[in-house]
Amino acid sequence: MAELINHPDEMHKLQDEIRTAIHGGGDTQVTGDHLGKLRHLRPVLKETLRLHIPAPLVQRETVEDTELLGYHVPAGARVLIDVGAIALDPATWERAEEFLPERWFGDDDGAAAIK
């Protein structure tokens, strides 16, 4: 909600889309049936979660010996991945610290819109 409040143009686009989707059928609430019509909702959610990651550190355990960026990582080692740093990395994302839901438009397969 904070991102939408700070970006009123995006909020108005999303509000208009929701109003159009639910008023077309005379509904008063958004349901799963409306999701196909809400094209702007998914990019807004993806961009919000990219900027405000619920779990910035992810822990994984290797199942076999491997090499990672030139380092030997033995089987059974726990590796922490800083997903928060990846999400805000300017080498990965164009204008990484800005709220830009349009970077996700046309992203039907779930892949990131990386420059």
Per cent of the chain over pLDDT 70 is 90
Number of domains in the chain: 1
Q: What pLDDT was estimated at residue 31?
A: 82
Residue pair 20/38 in contact by the 8 Å Cβ criterion:
no
Please indicate, yes or no, if residue 13 is contained in any of the structural domains.
yes
**For residue range 57-99, what is the model confidence (pLDDT) as tens digits?**
999 999 999 998 899 999 999 999 999 999 999 999 999 999 9
* Residue 75 within a domain: yes
Confirm whether pTM is higher than 0.95.
Answer: no
**110 or 108, higher pLDDT:** 108
CB 27 within 8 A of CB 42: no
Asked if residue 108 belongs to a domain, the reply is no
* Domain residue limits at 17: 2-94
99 in a domain, yes or no?
Answer: no
Please provide the distance, in angstroms rounded to a whole number, between the alpha carbons at the two ends of the chain.
27
Residue 52, number of CB atoms within 10 A of its CB: 13
Instruction: Indicate whether 102 belongs to any domain.
Output: no
Question: In terms of Cα–Cα distance, which of 26, 24, 21, 23 is closest to 38?
Answer: 21
Q: Is residue 100 part of a domain?
A: no
- Residue 23 makes CB contacts below 8 A (sequence gap 6+) with none
Closest CA to 77 of 91, 63, 87: 63
Contact indicator for 4, 14 with CB cutoff of 8 Å: yes
User: Is residue 62, in this structure, part of any structural domain at all?
Assistant: yes
